[in-house]
Structure 1
Amino acid sequence: MARVLIVGGFLAAVFWVFSIVDCAVQPATRHRGVPKGVWIAIVVLLPVIGGILWFTLGRRRADERPARAFAPDDDPEFLRSIDKKEQDARIAELEAELARLDDEGDAADSRS
């Protein structure tokens, strides 16, 4: 019976240390739920249970992608929120200003 307790205690200690190291070396993007420091505290303060929680709840798998952040021109919600009339008016204003600058440049070139 004593051998079982010694082996079980040794395996629990190995699992605990492995859990701490795994939690500490994972990048912050692979932690789910709470921040990395909190996960390390959970694993350290709750030796076996903390490790089990880390591997079941806290660790994001390599193939599991976080929510993708869209650039504004790729985000469908942002594109729906843009007012097309306002955008077309701004484009027309910029084109008129560009044409005016071109005319001024042509007039300056013809005087030279």
Structure 2
Amino acid sequence: MVRLYLLIFVVQIALAVIALISCLSAEEDEIRALPRLVWVLIILFFPLVGSIAWFLAGRPVGTGGVPAAPPRPTAPDDDPDFLRKLNTDQSRRDRELFEQWEEDLQRREDELRRKDSDPDTP
């Protein structure tokens, strides 16, 4: 019989500790029914009933205990916003400028090749 009482006592203390942690970590404006200080006092003075009352009536709505995972970043080719940004006016101007640079580079390389192949020109 002593073991049963000990088990109930340990469960009661564990439940009170979990309720206190939950109460103290909840946002103040999301706590329902009573202010945080009142909930803490209820949990401390009436551990079993206070803990159960906290989980039923005081805990913020929508908390399942497990926080939602942060959104994973998507690869650039899977992100519609990124793909939309690629087709902006600035990116078109950048592509045109890049093409002009490539043409200019090609022209200069051709001139250098002609100059190297023609030994008569200084």
* TM-score of the aligned structures, taking structure 2 as reference length: 0.48
Residue aligning to 1:31? 31
Residue aligning to 1:14? 14
**Within-5 A mapping of 1:26-65:** 26-62=26-62
Residue aligning to 1:83? none
Distance of 1:8 and 1:46 partners within structure 2 = 14
Q: What whole-Å deviation, never above 9, does each CA across 1:54-86 have from its counterpart, x for those lacking one?
A: 1111112227xxxxxxxxxxxxxxxxxxxxxxx
RMSD of equivalent CA atoms? 1.4
**Amino acid corresponding to residue 47 of structure 1 in structure 2:** P
SS at match of 2:23: helix
SS at match of 1:62: coil
Q: What whole-Å deviation, never above 9, does each CA across 1:2-30 have from its counterpart, x for those lacking one?
A: 11111111111111111111111111122
Q: Which runs of 4+ in 1 moved over 4 A?
A: none
Distance of 1:41 and 1:5 partners within structure 2 = 24
Provide the identity percentage.
Answer: 25
Say how many residue pairs are matched.
Answer: 63
Unaligned runs of 5+ in 1: 64-112
**Bigger Rg, which one:** 2
Distance of 2:60 and 2:26 partners within structure 1 = 9
Unaligned runs of 5+ in 2: 64-122
